[in-house]
Amino acid sequence: MNDVRDLSHFVEHLNGGIARLHLAIDGMTCAGCMFRIESGLTSVPNVEKARVNLTNRRLAVEWRDGTLDPAQLIDRLAELGYKAQPFDPERAEVAEAHDAHFLLRCLGVAAFAAMNIMLLSVSVWSGNLSDITPEQRDFFHWLSALIALPAAAYAGRPFFYSGVRALSTGRLNMDVPITLGVLLALGMSVFETLHHAEHAYFDSAIMLLTFLLAGRYFDQNMRRRTHAVASNLAALKAEMVCKFVSADEISEVPVVAIRAGDIVLVRPGERLAVDGVVVDGRSTIDQSLVTGETKPLSVGKAANVYAGTLNISGTLRVRVDAAASGTLLDEISRLLEKAIEARSRYVRLADRAARFYAPAVHLTALATLFGWIAVGASWHDAIVIAIAVLIITCPCALGLAIPAVQVVASGALFRAGVLLKAGDAIERLADVDTIVFDKTGTLTLPDPEVVNAADVPHHVLVLAGRLALASRHPLATAVARAVRAKAPIDGAIEEAGRGVRACVNGIEMRLGRPSFCDAEAQAAAVARQDPEASAVAVAYGEERHVLSVRQRIRPDAAASINDLRGQGFAVEILSGDRRQAVEHVAQALGVDNVRTGVAPADKIHRIEELKRAGRRVLMVGDGLNDAPALAAADVSLSPVSAAQLTQAAADAIFLGDTLAPVAAALALARRAKRIMRENLAMAVLYNAIAVPLAIFGFATPLVAAIAMSGSSVLVTANALRARKLAEKATRWKF
Amino acid sequence: MEVLIYLVPMALALGILGLVAFLWSLRSGQYDDLEGAAWRAIMDEDHAREPRDQ
């Protein structure tokens, strides 16, 4: 069957007859990939431009409109070895890119002004010690004002807007003392310059803005990066669906283009991308990703089928049913919404610090003002000193303390195979003391595997693998994968629902159900050993063998779980699967705390019960039935094979076949949080030294400049230590 | 100190030139992909064109 893929939904039409498509690319790991993709695509006729963005792993292709089918580009990428999916850049992402540009422009202006003013200030400071005349000093101060005032008006906007917004809703945030400090410093400096004073604080105000904008930009950059990861994952998960465009013609279209009432074709081995009702055909369906239940379910006409389930044996025609109320998926979506609403908003470390910092700063400045007046200073001197206190306490190092660590730690997590989707997830991960695992697809690998390959003669197994390539049945796929079969056997015939047969070197060979291969006795023997496994029989001439196929536990699961428990985490299994299936895994991993046959709502209840008991819960799960529990937990992880809805609910995604990234993420997060605390402590220490100096009137612009830049550099350098652990945990070199 | 009459405007002009160059580079998207840009600098032009010539 030759499909027509219709990607027109994603194509942008630009001016000048150019069409553009944005693609999320999977498997792009290094600069070499970037060159291969770009040169591989520009060699396609009519392609005008192909530009890879290595930072967020995306590609923009432009071609002359109407000259080629965008599906060709995806095929070309597949030839090159990359999986690509088109996507719409989300509106939120566009707005964020805009914000990031704005911040960077502000940062550029502030940095330019800071450099030029510092040039003038250093002249004044050295001149004050030698032979500068008051006229020359005034001239330099006025020049500084000329640069500083417009620069602050431009570059200070992110803080001014946010500070005013906070005040108008009756709150105090970090931007209020910043705004006040900058405005007062500039105002006072203009006043002092008018009166030919020795000190002006133009440099302090602008330097403060520069450092704070750098911190703000880091923070924003991190948020953009996590969002890009999230939408790439969503795009790569979005499946294509075979839709009937007329009674007997099909076309392959993206899921987003499917409407209720459409009829779609689902072939064996395909995962359903929609909810609906079977209108024609019979098959068995694997619901493990939806419910955690590993036993296949047989469906026929009028049966309800759900997105995320896997069609195993027969071809189905499904009528899409968008308003599937009262269904399992509907129930899960409802629970998910509730869980997200109820998620107690975690107060970030920085916000907690700000809450007490802003009032403390203002009170100190006010106390200084009245203190100096009380001891008989003039109003002018008292105000100048009070403003110096405000300037020196401005949270310069504080503004960098946390974003710098976040950026470094998220990079380290990325290299350890963990993609963050929420910026504050690092802080929440660091607090975890209880880990709840789902079983199917989380502790076990998502795809079934042959577990008794050693019991079958190798040449028979290799032939069986090649024969298995003729079928898309998941069990056949597992057999083919077991021997990495690549060469299909000629003339293989699939008998739907039974198996595959072919003639190999004049000997008849069959692969399929035990009854199809006349191997029921051997199958019964295998079933006695491992009742949970599925049996695939092989008949080769007179030989009969039975392969036992099951979801295997992740290779390092036992070691990882042991390791986690050794570190003092409480570990629990919460599965929707049957008791027998879960217990086998629990025993192998040595986990006693097991709950089986748990419905999605009960998973939430259990997690809430743990939270009420004061536990900080990390939920690790991949099924649709886990999605609400992921949202209800304090923090959540999903393997990259998880269902789309589940990944959307998780705070981070981990890659690969092992559970090692879970432990690495926890260790890195703890380290990152410790460094964040250290940074905050450093910022406090800085204040403990600088504030008394300012209160007693020694905070000249020179002192302010040294204190501010010194503490900022120290905090940033400390943040770089969050990288260190990563080298041990690094598994994914990019 | 008359030299300041030339030096100060020159310093400012150079500074503004730098700022304009930065804003231009920002606008033309040179900060959109920092990782890729690092590698493009060492990209072998001939190698990159090869497939097109084939």
Residue A511: partners with Cβ closer than 8 Å, 6 or more residues away: A464, A467, A468, A471, A476, A479, A499, A500, A501, A517, A536, A537, A538, A539
- Is A570 in CB contact (< 8 Å) with chain B? no
The residue in chain B having the minimum alpha-carbon distance to the alpha carbon of residue A133 is: B1
User: Helix axis angle, A701-719 relative to A379-393, nearest 10°?
Assistant: 10
Model confidence pLDDT, tens digit, residues A694-714: 888 887 888 888 888 888 888
**Distances in whole angstroms, Cα of residue A242 to Cα of each of A113, A237, A239:** 59, 16, 10
Return the closest-CA partner of residue A476 out of A510, A441, A520.
A510
Looking at the complex, report in whole angstroms how far the Cα of residue A591 sits from the nearest Cα belonging to chain B. 43
In this prediction, residue A620 carries a pLDDT of 92
Residues with Cβ within 8 Å of A363's Cβ and at least 6 positions away in sequence, in order, are none
Distance from CA of A7 to the nearest CA of B (A): 26
Which residues from B are below 8 Å from A115, CB to CB? 15
Residues of chain A contacting residue B10, judged by C-beta atoms under 8 Å apart? none
CB contact residues (below 8 A), chain B span 35-54, against chain A? 35-36, 39, 43, 47-52, 54
* Given A6, A438, A622, A651, the catalytic residue: A438
Closest CA–CA distance from residue B36 to any residue of chain A (Å): 5
Whether chain B has a CB inside 8 Å of the CB on A229: the answer is no
Give me the residues of chain A with pLDDT under 50, please.
1-3, 323-325, 726, 730-734
Give the pLDDT of residue A395: 67
Report the candidate in A712, A718, A722 with the shortest Cα–Cα distance to residue A210. A712
What percent of chain A stands above pLDDT 90?
A: 11
The angle subtended at Cα A539 by Cα A533 and Cα A541, nearest 5°, is 160
Provide the token pair at A278. Answer: 């079977």
In the stretch 589-618 of chain A, residues with CB closer than 8 A to chain B read none
Q: Residues of B with CB below 8 A from A34's CB?
A: 36, 39
Tell me how long chain B is. 54
Indicate which of A38, A46, A54 best probes the interface with B, i.e. most B CBs within 10 Å of its own CB. Answer: A54
**Chain B residue numbers touching A105 (CB-CB < 8 A):** 23, 26
Q: By C-alpha distance, which of A7, A47, A48, A52 is closest to A32?
A: A52
C-alpha span between A377 and A369 (Å, rounded):
9
Contacts of B18 in chain A (CB under 8 A): 112
Partner-chain contact A39 B51, CB within 8 Å: yes
Task: Please tell me the predicted confidence (pLDDT) of residue A436.
Answer: 92
Q: Does B29 touch chain A (CB under 8 A)?
A: no
State ipTM.
Answer: 0.80
Which bin fits A583, alpha (ψ -120 to 50), beta or left (φ > 0)?
Answer: alpha
Q: Given the DSSP bridges, would you call strands A310-311 and A283-286 parallel, antiparallel or unpaired?
A: antiparallel
User: Would you call A53 and B32 a contact, using CB atoms and an 8 Å cutoff?
Assistant: yes
Distance from CA of B45 to the nearest CA of A (A): 10
Contacts of A108 in chain B (CB under 8 A): 19, 22-23, 26
pLDDT of residue A51: 87
Q: Which of A218, A210, A208, A179 is nearest to A358 (CA)?
A: A179
Chain A / chain B CB contacts < 8 angstroms: 59
CB distance A143–B8 less than 8 Å?
yes
Q: Residue B48: its pLDDT value, please?
A: 46
Mutate to test the interface with A, among B17, B22, B28 (most CBs of A within 10 A): B22
Mean pLDDT of chain B: 77
Q: What is the pLDDT of residue A154?
A: 95
Amino acid at A413: L
> Does the CB of B20 have a partner CB in chain A at under 8 Å?
no
Report pLDDT for A393.
79
Q: Give the pLDDT confidence score for residue A730 in this predicted structure.
A: 47
Q: Residue A114: closest CA among chain B residues belongs to which residue?
A: B15
Which pLDDT value is given to residue A189?
A: 92
Q: What is the pLDDT of residue A169?
A: 85
Which residues lie across from A652 on neighbouring strands?
A: A420, A637
A132 touches chain B (CB under 8 A): no
Q: In this predicted structure, what is the pLDDT of residue A114?
A: 92
Task: List the strands of the sheet with A543-553, edge to edge.
Answer: A444-450, A543-553, A534-540, A507-512, A499-504, A493-495
Minimal Cβ distance to B52: which of A43, A101, A104: A43
A55 close to B (CB below 8 A): yes
Whether residue A280 lies in the annotated active site:
no
Q: Residue A35 and residue B26: Cβ atoms within 8 Å?
A: no
SS3 content of chain A, % helix, strand, coil (to 5): 55, 20, 25
Q: Strand, helix or coil at A395?
A: coil
pLDDT at site A75 = 85
**The pLDDT of residue A110:** 95
Is B5 exposed, middle or buried, given 0-12, 13-18 or 19+ CB atoms closer than 10 A?
exposed
Report chain A's C-alpha Rg in angstroms: 32
Q: What is the pLDDT of residue A252?
A: 78
Q: In whole angstroms, what is the distance from residue A179 CA to residue A205 CA?
A: 10
Subunit contact A55:B32, Cβ cutoff 8 A: yes
Q: Taking the model in full, what pTM does it have? A: 0.75
